Amino acid sequence: DAGITQSPRHKVTETGTPVTLRCHQTENHRYMYWYRQDPGHGLRLIHYSYGVKDTDKGEVSDGYSVSRSKTEDFLLTLESATSSQTSVYFCAISFSGSVETQYFGPGTRLLVL
């Protein structure tokens, strides 16, 4: 299994509070991704990173920001959580961004009340 961990694994928070999710990898892969998974939707890309301090938006980036200050960590921040951000969040990594397989972390279940 790829060495990917996510923390926390579960979180309950209130509307309007900031939330930060962490993805940590031990594989030294260049690319890291944040997805959300909701019923009736496939996994949807929020943001991705192609190197330290290099990030770009995915298809559902509104309301989210990311940071990557070192290769192994990719942080996803909800500046002011809303109920529509209740979801399961998956981090993924890949060695390169071309046809390489993405390997997924265990997921973080977030509930915004």
Q: Does 25 bind other proteins (CB under 8 A)?
A: no
Residue with structure tokens 């279940």?
109
With binding defined as CB under 8 A, does residue 48 bind other proteins?
A: yes
Q: Which residues of 48-85 are buried (b: 16+ CB within 10 A; e: fewer)?
A: bbeeeeebeebebbeebebebeeebebbbebeebeeeb
Our finding on whether 106 is near other proteins (CB under 8 A) is yes
Residues 61-100 that bind other proteins (CB under 8 A): 90, 97-100
- Contacts to other proteins from residues 27-46, by CB under 8 A: 31, 40-45
Of 60 and 78, CB closest to other proteins: 60
Distance CA 17, CA 53 (A): 25
Q: Which residues bind other proteins (CB under 8 A)?
A: 31, 40-45, 48, 50, 56, 58-59, 90, 97-107
